Amino acid sequence: MRGAFLHTLFDIAAWLAAAAAVYWLARQGLQFPAQSFELPYIAALVFGAGIGAYLFGSANLWLSGQSGIARSVEGALAGGIVAIELYKWSAGIAARTGARFALPLALGIAIGRLGCYFAGLDDFTYGTPTALPFGHDFGDGVLRHPVQLYESAAMAVFAIVFASA
């Protein structure tokens, strides 16, 4: 139960960090394509990301022999991209529109994946077994790659490079 609580706290922190990044980008005076601010674009993004998150997450559970409904950040990303590209194609938009989401997404993943790490085995996002000294025992006696920390670190480095460019 403690893991689920921590996961929720990190999810909230991830959303707040993403919102702060949006605010910071706006204060930098960066110009992004106007289409990425229109309601149909945002609706396609939210719908696609939501569907992708639940489809991928739930499929992952079912393929693992577990029942239930789950979310996946990779599924949200894939669903959002597919939905936006379909929307842009149908609306005749050729401009690249995703740059304004790069920093908020990277920060959100960097922080949110820490919640996955603290959730442990219940989250079903742990890595494969390893004999390396930095393997982590999530409570089942098996040292595993802490893939959540790898992804979190990679996204944090990307965010730093993106923000300093």
Q: What is the mean pLDDT of residues 146-155?
A: 96
CA distances to 16, 92, 158 from 30, in Å? 20, 24, 18
Amino acid type, 137: D
Strand ranges inside the chain, DSSP E: 136-137, 143-144
CA distances to 13, 65, 80, 101, 114 from 8, in Å? 9, 24, 22, 22, 11
Helix segments in 28-72, DSSP class H: 39-63
pTM: 0.82
Q: How far apart are CA 70 and CA 55, in angstroms?
A: 8
Q: How far from each other are the two terminal CA atoms of the chain, in whole angstroms?
A: 41
What's the pLDDT score for residue 28? Answer: 87
Q: What is the mean pLDDT of residues 34-50?
A: 93
DSSP for residue 136 = E
Question: String of b and e for 119-129 (b: at least 16 CB within 10 Å)?
Answer: bbeebbbbbee
What's the pLDDT score for residue 1? Answer: 62
What's the pLDDT score for residue 105? Answer: 94
